[in-house]
Chain A
Amino acid sequence: MIEFESVSKTYPDGTVAVEEFSLVVPSHRSVVLVGSSGSGKSTLLQMVNRMVEPTGGRVAIDGEDVAGRDAVGLRRSIGYVLQHGGLLPHRTVLDNIATVPVLNGTRRRRARTEAAGLLERVGLDPSLGRRYPSQLSGGQQQRVGVARALASDPNILLMDEPFGAVDPIVRRELQDELARLQADLGKTIIFVTHDVDEALRLGDEVVVLRRHGVIAQRGTPAEILASPADDFVRDFVGADREERRLTVRKVDGRDVAVDGTGRPVGVLHP
């Protein structure tokens, strides 16, 4: 369980990034923070692994304030996936994945063997293990980033727009893969994105943020779609967008769901 207790962050240059943010992320659940660029998502995420220290309030993991934890040990116990992969360009794929186990004292040979297993786990061919990150596609790099985050089997995964820089088709593949992994692993995930569709697809719970990390609404994806709290949320999630406004039409005795443009999107099953 991760608790944000009225955390605030004002950067040294005076920029207010987050104001009085409170949220409980239950264990084994995935919570997606969604908001436009600059709304304080990354700042919030980085307060969990102490890459950013709050200027007010506290963040606790299982009831323990992270400020009291050794920062390096804390970071090794948390999986972190970044937008551009954050892979070390001078290390092979296998060595990148094995980073945290090796830092924790696992023998390099054993860590590499386990890393090869993780490559398969995230849907990559083990032969890619000897390559350098620059020899992989963007989507492959992101998969490696996920494998690295999983390498030390952390309870918590922090994901900062991990699929933001890949093209839509690959992004969709990566999202499906993550959903599959999560169904298997049941990690506590905080996932940050500015893409509403991604948030609705991946979150057990979705938290919509305004500027300064102010929560506009939180709820399950269905709740957010069914009853946006206000115009900001309605607008942000595109509740009025044509493709979200489904109606049912009878065709050959079956109920066909049709979106706002009249395009059929599926068939209802009783």
Chain B
Amino acid sequence: MTWLALSWEYVLELTRDHLLLSVPAVLLSVLIAVPIGRLANRRRVLGGLVTGAATLMYAIPALPLLIIIPAVFGFPLRSSATVVTALTVYGVALLVRTAADAFGSVDAEVRDAALAVGHSPRSVFWHVDLPLAIPVLLSGTRVVAVSTVSLVTIGALIGVPGLGSLLTDGFQRGITEEVAVGVVATIVVALVLDGLLLAAGRALTPWARTPRRSAKTAGGAR
């Protein structure tokens, strides 16, 4: 416990850095994957190609990706932008298929009914498709969040600080406790983000929380 007692402020700082890398990456992944997923749900053939390609991005090894991104986007190599972009690539890869499934999970009958009573196609997207896709989108986002938080540690490999710095530093200097703290802190951050997402999902879908009328009592008019 001696190392932690001396360095807890440093750990907090790294935790903040870690969040500043992972939260934007998760948000960007959602913002990019949702429209692609929607497109994939609408146009089967094009959608199949796009989701296939996106999913393949997950197979790109991390180190080459961290080198390609600065070259393509013109970011400095050791920048948070590089790490956030790399994590977004993985996040999108993980989320696109789930996003397509999320829109596929929306009952076509409900969508048709909304159109038939006078929603415009755009309004059907915002007021019907999107809210009803939330439960599936959210479960995908939780996977992305946890995966991103653990992947952020690779930032340390190119010298961008985060909880991963505890791992690289601890290994180099042979401080077991530092490595252990890095692992535990990463897991805690992942669990906390996951919990927050779960809570946000529940707040966003009040209709899913209400107890259903059982089939037995259904039928009476009043």
Q: How far is the CB of B190 from chain A (nearest CB, A)?
A: 29
Instruction: For chain B, residues 13 to 58, give those with C-beta under 8 angstroms from any C-beta of chain A.
Output: none
Nearest residue (CB) in A for B209 is: A132
Within 8 A of A (CB), among B145-169: none
How far, in Å, is B4 (CB) from chain A's closest CB? 46
22 cross-chain CB contacts under 8 A: A75-B117, A76-B117, A86-B112, A86-B114, A86-B116, A86-B117, A89-B110, A91-B207, A99-B117, A99-B119, A123-B222, A135-B212, A137-B213, A137-B221, A138-B218, A138-B219, A139-B221, A140-B220, A166-B219, A170-B219, A170-B220, A174-B221
- Which listed residue (A75, A131, A135) contacts B116, Cβ 8 A? A75
Set of chain B residues within 8 Å of A75, measured between Cβ atoms: 115-118
Q: Are the C-beta atoms of B109 and A134 separated by less than 8 Å?
A: no
Output the nearest chain A residue to B218 by Cβ-Cβ distance: A137
Cβ-defined contact, B220 with A51, below 8 A? no
CA distance A143 to B205 in the complex (A): 24
**Distance in Å: Cβ of A99 to nearest Cβ of chain B:** 6
* A124 contacts partner chain B, Cβ-Cβ < 8 Å: yes
Sample of 20 further A-B pairs with CB below 8 A, known A76-B117, A86-B109: A49-B116, A73-B118, A82-B113, A86-B113, A86-B114, A88-B114, A89-B107, A89-B132, A89-B207, A90-B205, A103-B123, A123-B221, A132-B210, A135-B211, A135-B213, A137-B218, A139-B221, A143-B221, A148-B117, A170-B220
A137-B220 in contact (CB<8A):
yes
- In Å, the complex CA distance between A73 and B119 comes to 9
* CA of A130 to CA of B123, assembled, Å: 23
CA distance in complex: A84, B107 (Å) = 12
Q: How many A-B residue pairs have CB under 8 A?
A: 92
Roughly how many angstroms separate A105 CA and B117 CA in the complex, as a whole number? 15
**Is the Cβ of B221 less than 8 Å from the Cβ of A173?**
yes
Residues from chain B with a CB closer than 8 A to the CB of A86 are 109-110, 112-114, 116-117
Contact of A100 with B217 in the complex, beta carbons under 8 Å: no
- Nearest chain-B residue to A122 (Cβ)? B221
Q: Is B131 part of the contact surface with A, judged by Cβ < 8 Å?
A: yes
A136 at the binding interface (Cβ < 8 Å) = yes
Partner of B118, one of A87, A103, A131, A132: A103
Is B128 part of the binding interface, using a Cβ–Cβ cutoff of 8 Å? yes
How distant is A49 from chain B, measured CB to nearest CB, in Å?
6
Distance, CA A90 to CA B207, complexed state (A): 5
Docked pose: A143 CA to B115 CA in angstroms: 20
Q: Which residues of A contact B222 (CB under 8 A)?
A: 123-125, 140
* Interchain nearest-CB distance for B53 vs A (Å): 29
Q: How far is the CA of A76 from the CA of B123 in the complex (A)?
A: 13
A136 and B119 contact, CB distance less than 8 A: no
- B172 CB-CB contact with A under 8 Å: no
Sorted from nearest, which 9 A-B pairs have the closest CB atoms?
Answer: A86-B113, A76-B118, A137-B218, A75-B118, A139-B221, A90-B207, A132-B207, A72-B120, A90-B131
